[in-house]
Amino acid sequence: MAKDPVTSLDQIIKGLVPKVMKVVQEHSKRLWDHTVSRHLAGGTAADRLGRRTGTLARSTRPLQVRLDGSKVTGGLAFGAEYAGVHIGPAGSQVTIRPKNKKFLAIPLAAAKTAAGVARGGPLDGIWGPTFIAKGVIFGFSGGTKGTQSKTPIPLFVLKRSVVVPRRVHPKEHLLDWAKSQFMADLSKVVKVG
């Protein structure tokens, strides 16, 4: 008596699923490593973000591989709430506007650390007495004890909005990069006969 084709097919599928899940897991990790080391490593360029705090890179993780019916899914997750500003279609831009105030306060050099992170907000007391002139907030301290000044220091420029270009395109920079090797590894696993 010949083998039942349905039973044979079920056995093939049961043997394939763990192998496919392993390939998806390996490539999710590979994509994560490439994204963090190439696109989130610093040095602002057309496809690269300058790294200040490292929050976006630290929050980026490979997704847990899941089997949903006959579909195996994996991939990448950007955990920082502002990831959508930087990750998106190439050439697109995001306009940021203030939510509760009239202006955005963009920190100038004196109000930032060496890494480019603001030392505090414009309403923080660390700046000493402050005043606004010609769209700039001036203070008498750069936010540290050693930066007290008798003359005003420009700290923040006031803007109604800023436009941020998206630098990492999910398809062009991530999926197209991973696709050929993923398909090659997947075809090795799925090869039957």
Q: Distance between CA 78 and CA 66 in Å, rounded?
A: 18
Query: What ranges do the domains of the chain cover?
Result: 5-87+168-190, 98-160
Q: Distance between CA 167 and CA 49 in Å, rounded?
A: 7
Kindly list the distances between the CA atom of residue 83 and the CA atoms of 77, 96, 148, 178, in Å, as whole numbers in the listed order.
10, 13, 36, 20
Contact 117, 52 (CB under 8 A): yes
Q: Model confidence over 126-142: pLDDT tens digits?
A: 888 899 999 999 998 76
Q: Which residues in the chain belong to E strands, given as ranges?
A: 60-62, 66-68, 71-73, 76-78, 93-96, 104-107, 130-133, 136-141, 148-159, 162-165
Q: Distance between CA 135 and CA 106 in Å, rounded?
A: 11
Kindly list the distances between the CA atom of residue 150 and the CA atoms of 122, 144, 153, in Å, as whole numbers in the listed order.
19, 14, 9
According to the model, what pLDDT value does residue 136 have? Answer: 96
According to the model, what pLDDT value does residue 147 have? Answer: 66
Average predicted confidence (pLDDT) for the chain: 88
Q: Distance between CA 132 and CA 97 in Å, rounded?
A: 20
Q: Helix or strand or coil: residue 2?
A: coil
pLDDT band at residue 1 under the 50/70/90 scheme: very low
Average pLDDT over residues 111-129: 87
Radius of gyration of the chain (CA): 25
According to the model, what pLDDT value does residue 140 have? Answer: 86
Average pLDDT over residues 32-43: 90
Exposure of 99 in the CB half-sphere (CA atoms within 13 A): 0
Token pair in block for residue 132: 């606004």
Q: Distance between CA 180 and CA 184 in Å, rounded?
A: 6
